[in-house]
Structure 1
Amino acid sequence: MRPTHTYLVVFLPTVVLFNSCVSSGKFKAMETHAQKSDSLYAWTMQTLKTCQTSNADLTQQKKDIQSQMTSLNGLLTATQDNNTSLRKQLLDLSTLSSAQAESIKRSLDNIGAKDIYIQQLRAAISHRDSVNLAVVLQLKAALGGYGEDAAIKIEKGTVYVDLSEKLLFNSDSDSYKIDDKAKQVLGRLARVLNDQPDVEFTVLAHTESVVHPQEVLVDDWDLSVKRSTSVIRILQTDFSISPLRMTAAGRSEYPGMAPTDTPEGRAANRRTRVVIHPQLDPLLRLLEHKQDETVAGSLP
């Protein structure tokens, strides 16, 4: 369509030339018509611009869709290839012999059994640690007032109570007699041990090589054993601890805890140690059961 204002330019001289011959009403009508034509042209151009913009957007959307289709086609191809590979693997698996299938089943069963075994071991260790913790707390409550003369510690799952020579034998390096004051200490220890009736323990006496031989004492070995049995005897007769739970042992001067060239070092070595054995029965039962299974499995 040719722009309206072009016609206006062509006919304008004529309008001017014959202005005197055209009435003012007709001139205004022509002028109004020209303004409408200009507005229509502006609207048409704006609409054309909008359509061109929309066309560009649609063209870009088409390109994006085509790109997505290309990507999806690639993904579809990869998925089909993967399905083909899986089908082949399934076919390969289906050709396993019955012996191979049984072997796989046994392997899976063994994995499950090992998991259960590990859980049982953890539970047994947790039980042992719980018992040890309870014993330590009770011992500290009962013997805490004696300070370093009644040292309580736990190492590698075993509880140790070190009672000094001063506390049990009144600092007499040649004595194995327990007086009434020492019996009070052993009474406190016995209350804790009686609260744990399943716990077994060893009384292990250590001495130091300055013993003066007596008629009943040959050397430190004799002294350490007599000190141990003295403690055991008091625990059994005075505090009713079952002898089935106790073991008496003497270590003489071996091994020393401290150098023997000072009085303090020798005093540290002259101790009586109560070794509270950890609760190993559940662990031992599990280990024995595992060993039996291993032996059975190795038999033809």
Structure 2
Amino acid sequence: MKKVMLIITLVSMSFTSCVSKKKFTELEAKNKEIQDLLNTATIKLNTCLTEKDALSSQVEYLKKNNSDLINSSKELTVLTTKGAENLEKSLESLKEKDLKINRLQDALTKKDSVTLALVTSLKREVGIDDPDININVEKGVVMISIADNLLFKSGSYEVSDRAKGVLAKVAKVINSKPDFECMVEGHTDDVPIKNAVLLDNWDLSVKRATSIVRVLQKDLGVNPKQLIPAGRSSYIPLVENNTPTNRAKNRRTRIIIMPKIDQFYDMLEKEMKNLEGK
């Protein structure tokens, strides 16, 4: 199994006033359930593969045994009844193992396939050539990182007109995936900020996230049920905040597009039950 995915990175301190503690706790608990289920699925899949190999060896042995019987006795024109029954049972068991393995692999790779297709769509819509925009897949979800200078003025949380053009392309993809959720994360550097409007970098990162969410909802028609704003302050830097260039890299907004946890959990749970019941 080449791709087993899905760890959705949600940090409780991210969600300040923009995401209810109850909502985040539910997402975090569900994510843990999925991870446990994925671990169990991996163990069962490995067991199935081992059993399949053993059955394959048994089938080959039975085939050779029956062939030897035929060659040693010219008048023996058919397999012995016992040998034929054993061979038939082994082939049937092997076929069932193959079916179980295929069903489980399909369940675990379905999300990966959708994710890769989504990345391709985003790169085509947004344009990967822009150095201020980075699109990739991390831990099974699509992440779009947009540089601070493309979205806001320094120390501001008002979305620029240029940014709205980029967000319109992102919104087009989100709107085409109504079963996906979109988390908007605001990130700052570690330079303290405080003024009449902003208390600190937590405040700035949260307000930037909610500003993006409002544009996506009000101006670009994204369903608000798909949106989750989060502020990360300066605590998840890409690089050390030791130069102006590095601090500029850390000032960013990250848009995470992912299948709804409940739907993926239900899909995987259903396939696990099918695997156990056969």
Q: Deviations over 1:136-160 (max 9, x none)?
A: 2222222226612111111332211
Q: What amino acid sits opposite 1:276 in the alignment?
A: I
Distance 1:205 1:185 in 2: 16
Counting only pairs closer than 5 Å after superposition, residues 201-216 of structure 1 correspond to structure 2 as: 201-216=182-197
- State how 1:48-197 maps to structure 2 within 5 Å: 79=72, 114-144=97-127, 147-170=130-153, 172=154, 174-197=155-178
Task: Report the CA distance between 1:203 and its aligned residue.
Answer: 0.5
* Alignment match, 1:21: none
Whether contact under 8 Å (1:124, 1:282) holds in the other structure is no
Preserved contact between residue 131 and residue 279 of structure 1 (Cα < 8 Å) = no
The 3 A distance-change label for structure 1 pair 264 and 244 is same
1:265 and 2:246 equivalent? Answer: yes
CA 1:146/1:291 → structure 2, altered by over 3 Å: closer, same or farther? closer
- CA root-mean-square deviation: 3.8
**Matching residue of 1:14:** none
Query: TM-score normalised to the size of structure 2?
Result: 0.61
Residues of 2 paired with 1:133 and 1:279: CA distance? 16
CA 1:293–1:132 in 2, change beyond 3 Å: closer, same or farther? closer
* Alpha-carbon shift at residue 193 of structure 1 (Å): 1.5
**Residue 220 of structure 1 aligns with which residue?**
201
> One-letter code of the match for 1:168?
L
SS in 1 for 2:170: helix
State the percentage of identical aligned residues. Answer: 40
Conservation of the 8 A alpha-carbon contact between 2:128 and 2:135 = no
Cα deviations by residue, 1:59-95 (Å, 9 ceiling, x for unpaired) = xxxxxxxxxxxxxxxx99x947xx9xx98x959xx9x
Distance in 1 between residues matched to 2:135 and 2:237, nearest whole Å: 18
Rounded Cα–Cα distance in structure 2 between residues aligned with 1:240 and 1:125:
32
Considering fraction of residues, name the structure with more helix.
1
Task: Give the unaligned 5+ runs of structure 2.
Answer: 1-67
Between 1 and 2, higher relative CO (CA 8 Å, sep ≥ 6) is seen in 2
1:249 aligns with 2:230: yes
Cα gap change, 1:230 to 1:146, in 2 (>3 Å)? farther
Match of 2:131, SS state, is helix
In structure 2, distance between residues paired with 1:183 and 1:286:
35
Indicate how the Cα distance of structure 1 residues 293 and 142 shifts in structure 2: closer, same or farther if over 3 A, else same: closer
SS in 2 for 1:277: strand
Looking at structure 1, the residues matched to 123 and 180 of structure 2 have their Cα atoms a distance apart, in angstroms, of 17
Cα distance, 1:115 vs. partner?
Answer: 3.3
On the 8 A contact 2:128/2:134 being kept in 1, the answer is no
Q: Residue deviations 1:107-151, cap 9 Å, x none? A: 998866553333223333443233223322222222226612111
* Residues 143 and 185, structure 1, Cα contact 8 Å, conserved in 2: yes
Give 1:240 shift.
1.0
Instruction: Rate the CA distance shift 1:287–1:142 in 2: closer, same or farther, 3 A.
Output: closer
- Give TM-score, length-normalised by structure 1: 0.57
For structure 1, the 5+ residue unaligned runs are: 1-74, 95-104
Q: Is the 8 A contact 1:159 1:278 kept in 2?
A: no
SS in 1 for 2:180: coil
Pairwise CA distance, 1:185: 1.7
